[in-house]
Structure 1
């Protein structure tokens, strides 16, 4: 593997002192996933990373970034000693960004950051080498890690930028210095830290403040807060590109038609028709795909090639990915389809997930019930502030709910929603997702299409795990390619 940081380079970047020479081929903050050659960064979070330095070195870390000699280590060990670890990591990120030749893209938004980042990774990979954030590395340590890991010869870099509170985006985008910045959408999320949707929009719009000279702002139309985004974009960007269903959008969404496991997108840009497909169901994916094409063009990629390659993209785990769970290793009909969307939830993404479920066709004539059902298993939406009760209850009134056969739910915030449902739609409700997961064999049946949706903190992913365990070992291999 190529060397990312020599001890001399890292010491110069951070103002630290290396006790021994080293060459780092990667950067890690977790000993559970550390690889030989990684520089281990001893961050302090729930636990102090200094407590794990000795273990990291035993597992092959080339050195550790520390603010003191940890217990179990001596200066004979390879250490980079700095005044403060997070500040030194930020220094590595800034230097990593400065020395790279890549066209840098920043992605933020209330919904769809990670899936859009992965979509960009997919479409740009055919046109150059791409460096992108792992998982949801989008916060005060995730962004500098991503930048510090950036290979100097990468052609493109995709940096995901998130926030929970006011003032978080500006320092992160100042570190990333993107050539193009995209906002996916602005919706009711993190309302406990913001007075209203306008406040969220102003914070998201800060992503345009860090654009490089000549940079491009890419933003959605048709939102109540689009004018706020446009004002910030016009103030900081050399070029502003819009996408969405609103007439006058630079990338105009004409129609998004869900057909099985795909979404057919009809759009228009510069007066020319644009037709492509996204290999996952969801109108929200279609809209974000348009934004992706706008970004690809902004950083010099061929948008026509990108439109073809976007059809190869699939959502990451926990972000709406669809899978089939086989309940019988002999009879492939004894199975159900699962949409795992258990990583994040707010009213906008909940609505999008329910619309996807409503558009699915279950299979009749199999299983105990003999009638395929659309099944929603919903966990709580967190960080919604004083309006959380009303926002949860409003889910029951969403038009998509009319064609969903049964709804199971977990969490006290979901109880009002559950009790607002017609009795024939009510499945099971429990205070905790763990208790609901224990009922997994009774929640679904063969022929069903099942959506599991909730915030990560709701632990509704436990239900996903329990549903997967209903699958018969070896069935996925036996029926591969037949679903």
Structure 2
């Protein structure tokens, strides 16, 4: 973070300043996580009020407070009308102070994978920071920007959006030099109502690009024309799994192996073989996106290839777990939407042995479209070589019914017992567990991997 004095930052935040001047070297929004010479920002949420924890933060070592009303503590305080707005203003101030190339990434799926791939590449090129965890919202993005220093060469920022208008606000804060829309699939439909509205929202990431910025576009997306408009007069690079006229980054000779994927990377700067320690053609597409982002800020071909080679599979994202000889468990429990479900299905079809797909409901698809998309997934599975589909949840039963090879469960306990039975019966078997965060499907992974006898309802 760039250090600042309270006296210096008060007018930037339109804040009333009380107490002695201090130099602040870090900020925190969690009273349990206190840094040296830090300021505690008292955010207010639906179920909490940071002002209730100001005493705890000061007792733990925080030196100053950013609050929306004066608190009865003898410490320096910046008083603002809205601490969330002040956090954003502070992040914007830091963004203007640094010369780092800033990359913004959004999309319905694959955002984190692309972020991790791009980070792995750019670490070979200079000092790089990136979004940690799922800090991709109106709080997480400003906090990520506040980690920037004048020594940083690159910042890779993941942007999420669950309702209209969020992405435009986040893009304005980030003021990216390069921006990517990785893809658009039905996700957060409860907030957006339609796929076209999701595509339009994602395109807002290009509206606040630097004048000399570059937009990276998935040429396989139906929202292509929508995304071109805000990029008029700016540089554009296109990526696709298929080669055709106008495609800048594409892949050929894609070979799926048990724990990795090989392909030939084609770029405007040459071609090279790539070994990716991640499964699925969707991750090849993610690698193409990451390559385009990295090239756009100065990486060369050898740095891109090396960075992709060294990326590690992320837990919860098609993470392979070998249970024994011929027995493979794939952990894809981080989250679930239509796009990532299709990708998971395609990966499982390439796995050896008896193939079992375990899924929960896909959440946030909207009340009226949820059944439609679950039925679509059921029909898709019916056409594949997947041997068994096991479902849990109130809507996922549509999948098991329609595919013709499904079994529905009402409890994780019985589901886990059934999976263990199948693992004991088949000498060669691949089990992929996929689910939305709300279903905590990682509990199934833990019970199977660790041989736990403590099951769940």
What is the TM-score with the length of structure 2 in the denominator?
0.89
Gaps of 5+ in 2: none
Cα 1:136/1:395, change in 2 over 3 Å:
same
Alignment of 1:177-326 (within 5 A): 177-233=175-231, 235=232, 238-246=234-242, 247-248=244-245, 249-270=247-268, 272-325=270-323
Alignment of 1:318-397 (within 5 A): 318-325=316-323, 333=324, 336-362=327-353, 373-385=354-366, 386-397=368-379
Give deviations 1:84-125, integer Å, cap 9, x for gaps.
100110111101100111000000111111111111111111
Provide the C-alpha distance between the structure 2 equivalents of 1:30 and 1:80, rounded to a whole number of angstroms.
Answer: 17
Report SS of the residue matched to 2:369: helix
Match of 1:429 among 387, 409, 414: 409
CA shift for structure 1 position 166: 1.6
Give deviations 1:343-388, integer Å, cap 9, x for gaps.
22111110101211221225xxxxxxxxxx3332211111212211
Give aligned pairs, total.
443
Cα 1:77/1:188, change in 2 over 3 Å:
same
Say if 2:409 and 2:415, in contact at 8 Å, map to a contact too.
Answer: no
Cα 1:301/1:39, change in 2 over 3 Å:
farther
Say if 1:409 and 1:429, in contact at 8 Å, map to a contact too.
Answer: yes
CA shift for structure 1 position 12: 4.2
Name the residue aligned to 1:409: 391
Residues 1:39 and 2:39 aligned together = yes
CA shift for structure 1 position 465: 3.7
Provide the C-alpha distance between the structure 1 equivalents of 2:55 and 2:173, rounded to a whole number of angstroms.
Answer: 31
Name the residue aligned to 1:120: 118
Gaps of 5+ in 1: 326-332, 363-372, 473-483
Cα 1:221/1:62, change in 2 over 3 Å:
same
Provide the C-alpha distance between the structure 1 equivalents of 2:204 and 2:31, rounded to a whole number of angstroms.
Answer: 34
Provide the C-alpha distance between the structure 2 equivalents of 1:286 and 1:145, rounded to a whole number of angstroms.
Answer: 30
Name the residue aligned to 1:330: none
Residues 1:454 and 2:435 aligned together = yes
Provide the C-alpha distance between the structure 2 equivalents of 1:20 and 1:465, rounded to a whole number of angstroms.
Answer: 52
What is the TM-score with the length of structure 1 in the denominator?
0.84
Say if 1:381 and 1:458, in contact at 8 Å, map to a contact too.
Answer: no
- Greater Cα offset, 403-412 or 104-113: 403-412
What RMSD, in angstroms, separates the aligned Cα atoms of the two structures? 2.5
Name the residue aligned to 1:369: none
Residues 1:14 and 2:5 aligned together = no
Provide the C-alpha distance between the structure 2 equivalents of 1:266 and 1:306, rounded to a whole number of angstroms.
Answer: 12
